[in-house]
Amino acid sequence: MTVVTQDPRQSRFTATVDGVLCVLDYQLQGDTMAIVHTGVPSQVGGRGIAAELTRSALDTARANGWKVRPLCSYAEVYMRRHPEYNDLRA
């Protein structure tokens, strides 16, 4: 399991896998989290890291009572495939 950390000052979630930084960037607009970018370099791709970053962001949004606007294509597809997060859509 990958350890995901939120860095609210930089508006991102991060995970370091095999020394490689993976990120999910967001913008907080009032009570809405806009997910703008998910980046997992190819050398560590295919391990479900983007899914873990996205899940952490969505769980954080839920815990804070925020809605989510998935502007990143990966986050959009993730939310479509995981209907348990439909209630978070802005």
27-51 tens-digit pLDDT = 999 999 999 999 999 999 999 999 9
pLDDT for position 2: 86
Local confidence band at 1 (pLDDT 50, 70, 90 cut-offs): confident
pLDDT for position 77: 98
Separation CA 52–CA 8 (nearest Å): 17
Alpha carbons within 13 A on the beta-carbon side of 45: 6
Counting residues of the chain whose pLDDT is more than 70, the rounded percentage is 100
pLDDT for position 8: 96
Q: Are 15 and 2 in contact (CB under 8 A)?
A: yes
**Total number of residues shown for the chain:** 90
Alpha carbons within 13 A on the beta-carbon side of 10: 10
Nearest residue to 16 (alpha-carbon basis) of 41, 46, 34, 51: 41
Mean pLDDT of the chain: 97
Domains and CATH numbers, the chain: 5-88 (3.40.630.30)
H or E element in which residue 56 lies = helix 49-64
The distance of Cα 68 from the centroid of its chain, to the nearest Å, equals 10
